[in-house]
Structure formats: structure tokens, C-alpha cells
């Protein structure tokens, strides 16, 4: 399966970061939370403790502690595009929330990808209907780094259906037409 990098102008697609795998993220989050708690910074990172208003000394202390919380969070991450994007955010609570949302989105896309690759033809389903069902099930991933290319769609179709003369025709047509999807005439 191909992974396409995002262009700089696109909205961030957090799904490309392995760090955001549910188990990895939850383990990382609990370890960072423990470090933040040991420094008295966890409530700042979660947004439970807010910037004080009209108290200059408390405000200076809060800003210093917020910078420390931010640095603990960012320094616990490996170098990645995600970390570079998060460096632009000053508020540690916003970083913490963005990471949670990114992990959720990454896991949603991973589940859609898993569901696609677990698809198999129903008993009695025509090849054309199965192929169309595969095509429909890949659409939610379009525009993400987890999108399923035509090559991957075709390969999954061939891998999950019994070999027959239509496969040979479809493969030759697919290969000869510059990898453009086309339905065999007998499928229509």
C-alpha cells in the first residue's frame, strides 16, 4: 500500500504518524502524564488550570510553568512532522488536546483501512458488484495519507477472488491501459 505525503498547503493529516497508534499513544500519554504530575504541571497540560487574570506574579509563574509543560510534552516526542507542527503552538493544553484528536483520527483511518482489507466477496456476489463494493469502501480514505490507490484496489480484488479467465483479461487490460481501471465487457 502506498503512503502519499501531504503537500505543505494541505490540512495536517495526523494519520501518518506511527506514534499515534492507540496503544503507543496511550502508553506515551501515561508516561508523560506521570512526568507532568511529578512537576506539578499536569493540570496545565490538560487545561484544568487556567491562566490567572489580574495577578501579575501568579501570571508570570503560570507562564513559566506552562512553558515547562510544553517542553516536557514536546521533548518526549521523536522528531517528526507532527512535532514540527506542534512546536508552533504555545499553549500546552492545546498541544495535549491536538495529540488526542490526532490519535483518534489516526485510529479511525486505521480501522477503515483494516475494514477495507478484510472485505471478501459474498457468496453469489458478481465480480462487478464486489469490485464496486471495494471501490465504495475505499472512498472514506480518499484525500488522506492512507488512501487506497487503484493499484492496491486491483491487487486486493485479484487476491480475494478465485482465479478465472476474467482475472487474466482484467489484468492484461489493466496493465496495457496504463494501470487505468476498466471493467471487462462480460462483467456489465
Residue 165, domain extent: 119-187
Give pLDDT, residue 134: 92
The count of domains in the chain is 2
> Per-residue b/e over 58-87, b at no fewer than 16 CB within 10 Å?
eeeebeebbebbbebbeeebeeeebbeebe
Domain assignment present for residue 66? The answer is yes
At residue 24 the predicted structure's pLDDT band, cuts being 50, 70 and 90, is confident
**Are residues 23 and 89 part of one domain?**
yes
Give pLDDT, residue 7: 35
Of 145, 155, 150, 71, the C-alpha closest to 112 is 145
Q: What is the DSSP string of 41-59?
A: -HHHHHTSSPPPSS-HHHH
Chain mean pLDDT for the chain? 79
Domain assignment present for residue 96? The answer is yes
Reported as a single tens digit per residue, the pLDDT across 52-98 is 988 888 899 999 999 999 999 998 887 777 788 888 999 999 999 99
**Are residues 93 and 40 part of one domain?**
yes
Domain assignment present for residue 61? The answer is yes
Amino acid at each position: 500500500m502506498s503512503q502519499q505525503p501531504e503537500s505543505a498547503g494541505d490540512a495536517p493529516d495526523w494519520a501518518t504518524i506511527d506514534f499515534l497508534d492507540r496503544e503507543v499513544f496511550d502508553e506515551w500519554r501515561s508516561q508523560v502524564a506521570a512526568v507532568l504530575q511529578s512537576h506539578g504541571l499536569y493540570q496545565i497540560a490538560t487545561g484544568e488550570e487556567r491562566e490567572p487574570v489580574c495577578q501579575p506574579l501568579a501570571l508570570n509563574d503560570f507562564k513559566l510553568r506552562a512553558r515547562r509543560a510544553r517542553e516536557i510534552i514536546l521533548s518526549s516526542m521523536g522528531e517528526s512532522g507532527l512535532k514540527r507542527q506542534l512546536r508552533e503552538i504555545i499553549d500546552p493544553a492545546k498541544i495535549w488536546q491536538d495529540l488526542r484528536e490526532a490519535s483518534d483520527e489516526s485510529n479511525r483511518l486505521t480501522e477503515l483501512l483494516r475494514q477495507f482489507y478484510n472485505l471478501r466477496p459474498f457468496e453469489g456476489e458478481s465480480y462487478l458488484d464486489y469490485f464496486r463494493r471495494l471501490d465504495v469502501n475505499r472512498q472514506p480514505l480518499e484525500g488522506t495519507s492512507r488512501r487506497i490507490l487503484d493499484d492496491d484496489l486491483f491487487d486486493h480484488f485479484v487476491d480475494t477472488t478465485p482465479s478465472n479467465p476474467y482475472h487474466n483479461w482484467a489484468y492484461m487490460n489493466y496493465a496495457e491501459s496504463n494501470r487505468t481501471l476498466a471493467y471487462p465487457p462480460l462483467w456489465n
